[in-house]
Amino acid sequence: MARNAAGTLQQQQETYMDSTKAHLKELRATLESFWMELADSGSINTILDAVTVLAAGIANIFKSLGGGIPILKSISALMLDVFATQISKSIQISMDNAARSK
């Protein structure tokens, strides 16, 4: 009986694997077809051109605002101003915890 059960389980496993393999092959073929169509249609070049224009626009914005460092300084100062109370409370709690642990 155990041999029969093992044989049945093996057969079920093979059926499952065959089914999974077939589905994976179908998925793989569909994805390959999709990518080939995308590449052939020139869509990739259109997407790359759009990303290039977007990147150039962002670079121009940074350049007109004085570069990345001044922007980061401004954002940092703004964040410190907005979150000053929370930061000071967190520092105080950390100091209290450090004092208690000694």
User: How far is the C-alpha of 45 from the C-alpha of 53, rounded, in Å?
Assistant: 12
- pTM here is 0.35
Q: Please write the tens of the pLDDT for every residue from 6-31.
A: 678 788 777 877 788 888 888 898 98
Q: Please write the tens of the pLDDT for every residue from 51-81.
A: 899 999 988 887 887 777 777 788 888 888 8
- Residue 40's closest CA among 28, 51, 29, 32? 32
Q: What percent of the chain has pLDDT over 90?
A: 5
